Structures are given as structure tokens and as C-alpha cells.
Structure 1
Amino acid sequence: MKNIKIGILGCGRVAQHYKNILNSGNVKNFEIVGVADKEISKAQNYSKNFNCDFFSDLSEMINKKKPNLVLVLTPSGEHFNDVRKSLKMGCNTIVEKPIAMTPSEADSLKDLSIKMNLMLGVVYQNRLNPAIQFLKNELNRGVFGKIITASIRLRWARYQDYYEDEWHGTWKQDGGVINQQAIHHVDVMNWLCGPVTEVCATGGNLINNLEAEDTMVGIIKFKNGSFGTIEATTGLRPKDQEASISIVGDKAIATVGGIALNKIEKWYSNNSNQNEKEIINKFSQEVPNGYGLSHGPYLQKVIDCLNNGSIDAPVNSEDAAITTRIIHSLYASYENNSWISINDKINSQKLGI
């Protein structure tokens, strides 16, 4: 296979995680041809990791280096403009979550990628976790029987200094815990048990000082008639403790936890000869942080697809747009103190504004 030429836009916090992945040797058949950041000093320093050129502007990087693929790792509120520019300049594009700050922006990017016949993928890497893949396979096989409930619990720690930059926790650039951290888990819940049809939520700032919320709780209704709950906070101290999802059916029950949906903590099926301890050992991972270990497999799938002439991303723009719609519905419920139907397409009056 040939090397896919990659350009990276955004050399901040999450880019350091990508640096570790790309330097690990676990991702093959790529070449970093350029990096860009509006703070040129960040780009210059980051470029040393890959011995590549650095830029302060995406357009210049694309024009001079001609990447096959652009990784957009900028702040959430910049995703729409950055992804749009990358696609319009003819580059396959992968963007960190969320795809954009509003559903209309997400739909616009999806339509543009189709028009340009380019890959547009969004990094919801937890779908590729072995534990989550196990749940998906068992759900598809009908092992759970009739689904009764699903629940998310995210209990993480973000101190005030996390929100003291120019964008974290702001309505225009980021949102709160449900759009910055728990969006991964909402995406997984909908992928496993959805589609989500209605939501009801409330939240607030209980520990930290930010424009958006540091804590949200919610109730979910699914098309299949089952119910779900969400509990998410960044107010825990002193460190991240849990990021879990549980599914209860009339024939099986499972909990995937750890700090990054990385460990099977409970598995029981009355129609299976599978030993719980064997399942836990086979599909659980130890992870160093809340990012988990699935960015590498995600990127490898992207590279392999492009090498095989495919533009089907591991998580495509349509799925990502649905997740953004659910997030806006949760915020709209919180703001209006009412149940919100996903099909009514009621947006938050704050997020992305």
C-alpha cells in the first residue's frame, strides 16, 4: 500500500495525543507532510515530531503540500469553517468530535462531502473499543432479547483551569459536559440502542465556573420502546473515575466501564454458555487516559479505506450529524424545561450561538 499524505490542522491538546499515536508504530502507511496552527509557534514546535513543514494557514498547507487527508484538531467552534475549507480544497477530511456546533452546520458539511465525493469522518473512537464492539455484536445477534433500559454514567474531573482558555466551556465554541465529554457516550448509546426519539434533561454548574454546564442528567426514549438515562459531570474530584454504559434486556445484562468505555464490568446472558470472566478478559483493555486506545485503529481504517479507493469513514458524517441533533435536543429540553422530540428538530438557543 502507498503512504497516505496527511496534513494536520490544530496543534493543541488533542494533537499531542495524535502525536503519540502516530509515533507508536501501530498506524501504518502514512506520511505527515505538513502541520498548521494559527499560532505559528505551536505549529513549528509540533512539526519537529514529524520533520515536516509548518504553516499558520490551512489553505497554504494544502496548496503547498497537497495532502490526501486533512486531520482537523482545532477547537470545536472552528470545526465547521475548517472542515468546509478542507473539503472545498479537495481534501478527504477527518475531524475530532463534534462535526460542528449546530445541526444545520453538520448537515451542510455532510452535503458538501457528498457533492465533492470526499471522505468526511468524525472521530467517535469509542465505537471501535473491543468492549463496545462486543456489545454491538451481541445486540445484533439478539442475545439481549427485548431491550429494557440503557444508562450512561460519566464521572470525570475537570478543574477550573481547564475552562480558563479562550474556548472550553463557552456556548459558542464548546458547550459543557454533554457536548465536550459525554458526547462520545451519547453517540455510543444511540449507535447501540437507538434511534433516540425523545429526550428530557436538566443541568447546571455545581462545581466549576463556565458559561455552559458542568453537570447534566437526562431521560431518553428509544424507538424500540426502551428507556435510557444519562448522568454526566466534570465536577468529580480529584480525578476521572468512570465512563460507563449499561444495557439491560430481558435475556442479558452488560456494563462497559473504566474511564473510557474500555472494560467489561458485568456480563450475563441466560442464552449463552459464555463465561463472564472469559468475556471480561477477552474484550477489556487497560488505557492510560480518557481518550482510550481506539484513535489508532480508527486512523488505520481511514488510511486503509483511502488506499482501497473507498471514502466510507469508520464513523460517517450522517451518523455524526445525528449525534449533534441529539445533543441539541438535550440542551433544548434543559432550556425549555420540557420533553423534546428529536424529529421536531428544536435547536438549543445557546449552543453554537
Structure 2
Amino acid sequence: MSKLKLAFIGLGRAAQHYAEVIKENLSDEYIFSVGVDQYAESRSKWEKENSGKTFASIDEVSKDDVDIAIITTPSGSHAENSKVLLQNGVNVLCEKPIGLNVEDVVANMALAKEKSVLYGGVFQNRLNKPIKYIENLFSQNDFGKIISASVKLQWCRLQDYYNDEWHGRWKTDGGVISQQAIHHIDALFYLFGPPEFLSGFSGNINNKLEAEDTFVASGTLLKGGFFTIEATTAVRPEDFSASLEVVTDKYQISVGGIALNELTRVKLDGVELSNELKENSETVKNGYGNGHYHMLKEISENFNDSGKIIFPTSAESSLDSIKYIHALYSSVENNSIISFSDDVRSAKLGQDV
């Protein structure tokens, strides 16, 4: 079995999570080839715990040393990091968000095509058992008409979280919907299709930051039915809940858990399908969930079966979620109902404000 060589760009908490997943479950399928971080302390820690070379600059990453470069740097760096690697002929798998500016990601997609390299994003919750369960149901013709679909994220981030050089700032991050709740918003529209019209409200309740610690929104789905979004990092003293729910004229389904990992309720025509719950739930160690494992396993299995690297989530599909975030922010900025088909842009996200 041939091992895929990985580079990690940014050796912080997210990269450490990947390393743990690989060492515990996928050590026969992946090898740590390169680690990149501007901080010597982070590089030293990585060298002690993992194999491979480390560099201070992304320019040192060569396609000869790497099969896939996984970007785990701060959000505002993602598009530029991707551009450098794609230009150098390296396959890029970028953590969320794939970029803050739509045009930067579109340009990177064109660059990837020009260089004949792969460019993908990471939305690991799409691979969770409860999400796959709903996806399979929805693909069937008897799922019913959607009445409402909703996501709720009630988390705690204390002020010190926002006191670094990038969290909560428009240029480098955005607020709760572009950082914490983007996974839940992605799951909502991934499952039930894009919004048609939407309207949002935002503010800061308990934290001081350029963007928002609380956002609520509602609107209509293009395929029919309504949606709502509630997201906040103002809860105290700890995370409270995160959930996704859908109600149709046949089904009522709830998903919970710290990583959308638990199918908590399923009713069909008023009858509780309790036997479905355990089979379509999974135990997780932390808020990252098991999706990174599922993603890496799928990549390695495809590679060993076909000799080709295939990313479960394309850059184009990842870009959809950035467009949702821009539309939500635009609604607040313009104090208006937004038509998603107008392909609007936020005047703040990814910009110097």
C-alpha cells in the first residue's frame, strides 16, 4: 500500500487534530512529509511529535515532496496560501473557509485548472452519519415537502479569544457565522439546497470585536419551505447546544451533539423511528467530530483503488458556503432582504474596515 505524503501549512490546533487522527487510525495510509509554520516554537513541537521536514516559509514546499498540502492557517490566509501552493503545482486541501473573498477563490480555481492540480475544501460534518442519513432520505422522492429547516449554535467564546491578531476581524476572520457556525450553515444548505431570499440581523452581546458575536437570520429555500439560523458565541459560561432540525409534511428530524454527530429524533407520519437513532449516530471525542477521519479514509481508499487522488468536497462546492455568508452579511449591511441569485458581496468580509 502506497502512503500519501502530506504537508500541513500552519501547525496549530487544527493540524494537531489531523496528526492525532492519522497516528491513531491511518498511519498505514499517510506520512507526514512537510510542516510549515512561521513560529519556531510550533515547528519544534511538530518535529518532536511527527516525521518529515519543517519550514518557516510556504515557498519551500515542493510538489516533489508532497501529494497533498492541507491548509490549517488562520482564515484570512487561506486563499493566499492556496494560491502559492497551486502556483507551485501542489494539490491543495483547504480547511474552512476556503477563502474570505469569492473572487480570490474563483481565481484559485482557474489557477488549479491551469496547473492541472487538485483544489478542494474541508466541510467534515457533511460526512457525519446523521447528515448522510438525512441526505439519503432527502434524495428519495417520499421525503415530503419541507416546511422549515433550521440550525442553532449557542456557544461560548470569552473575550480573550478575540484579543489575538485575527479572530473576529473583518479582514482576517469575520464573526460567528463565518467562523463557528459556517459548518452548520453549510450543512443546512448542503442538505436542502440554496436559499432563495434571506434576511439577517447581527450584533455583539457579550464580546467586543469588529464583526458579530450573535447572528440570526431567516428566509426561503429555493426548493421550497423556510429556514432559520441562530448563532452566537455570547453564551456563558460554556457551550450550550448546536443542532440542525428539519420538518416536512412527513418527517420531523433533529440532529445534535457537539459536532452534529447525534441523530436525536426521527418521526415519520407521527411515528417515532427510535431504531434509526443509534444506527445513524456516532460518538466523538471533541467538536471536530469524526469527519476528518472519514474524509482522509475516503481519499486514501480512492487512491489505493484507482491510483487517483479525489477530494470529497471540491473548491466549487466549498465556495458555495462563502457565498451564503456574504449574502447574510450583505443583508445586515444593507438592511434589506437579499435575493441569493443576485450573487451579492459583503462590503466588510475579507476587507480592511
Q: TM-score range by the shorter chain?
A: over 0.9
C-alpha deviations, 1:138-196, integer Å up to 9, x for none? 11113421111100100111111111111111100000000001111111111111122
> In the TM superposition, what is the alpha-carbon distance from 1:271 to its structure 2 partner?
9.4
Identify the residue that residue 256 of structure 2 maps to in structure 1.
Answer: 257
Deviation of the 1:305 alpha carbon: 3.4
Report % sequence identity. 38
Matched with 1:57 is: 57
CA distance in 1, matches of 2:223, 2:142: 16
Partner amino acid, structure 1, of 2:80? N
CA deviations on 1:231-272 (whole Å, 9 max, x unpaired) are 000111222222111111111110111121111111011298
- Partner SS for 1:62: coil
Corresponding residue number in structure 1 for 2:325: 327
Structure 1 residue 69: Cα displacement: 0.8
Once residues 231 and 318 of structure 2 are traced to their aligned partners in structure 1, the CA distance between those partners, rounded to angstroms, is 20
C-alpha distance 142-239 of structure 1, shift in aligned 2 (>3 A): farther
Structure 1: distance between partners of 2:29 and 2:177 = 35
**Contact 1:118–1:311 (Cα < 8 Å) also in 2:** no
1:233 aligns with 2:237: no
Q: Which residue of 2 aligns with 1:180?
A: 179
Distance 1:306 1:58 in 2: 25
Tell me which moved more, 110-119 or 251-260. Answer: 110-119
Residue 106 of structure 1 contacts residue 324 of structure 1 at CA under 8 Å; is this kept in 2? no
**Structure 1 counterpart of 2:342, from 334, 341, 344:** 344
Aligned to 1:282: 279
Matched pairs, number: 350
What is aligned with 1:293?
290
Match of 2:112 in 1: 113
Separation of aligned partners in 2, 1:159 and 1:129: 28
Residues of 2 paired with 1:337 and 1:2: CA distance? 54
**C-alpha displacement at 1:80, in angstroms?**
0.7
Post-superposition Cα deviations, 1:275-326, rounded to whole Å, max 9, x if no partner, equal: 6221111111222222111111112222333442445411111111111111
SS in 2 for 1:286: coil
For 1:316, the equivalent position in structure 2 comes to 314
RMSD between superposed Cα atoms in Å: 1.6
Alignment of 1:1-353 (within 5 A): 1-26=1-26, 28-62=28-62, 66-270=65-269, 276-307=273-304, 308-353=306-351
* Contact 1:19 1:49 survives alignment (8 Å): no
CA contact (8 A) 2:61 2:85 kept: no
SS in 2 for 1:304: helix
Distance 1:48 1:301 in 2: 28
Once the 2 structures are TM-superposed, how far is the Cα of residue 332 of structure 1 from its aligned partner? Answer: 0.5
Matched-pair contact (CA < 8 Å) for 1:328–1:351: yes
Structure 1 window deviating more from structure 2 (314-323 vs 138-147): it is: 138-147
| SS in structure 2 of the partner of residue 132 of structure 1 | helix
Say if 1:10 and 1:73, in contact at 8 Å, map to a contact too: yes
Q: What SS does structure 1 have at the residue aligned with 2:347? A: coil
CA contact under 8 A between 1:143 and 1:269: conserved in structure 2?
no
User: How far, CA to CA, are the matches of 1:48 and 1:170 in structure 2?
Assistant: 33
CA contact (8 A) 2:166 2:173 kept: yes
Task: Name the CA distance, whole Å, in 2 between partners of 1:40 and 1:332.
Answer: 39
3-state SS of 2:16 partner: helix
Unpaired segments ≥5 residues, structure 2 = none
SS at match of 2:61: helix
1:48-99 CA-partner distances (Å, limit 9, x unpaired): 2213221101121326x62011011000100011011111111111111001
Paired amino acid for 2:10:
G
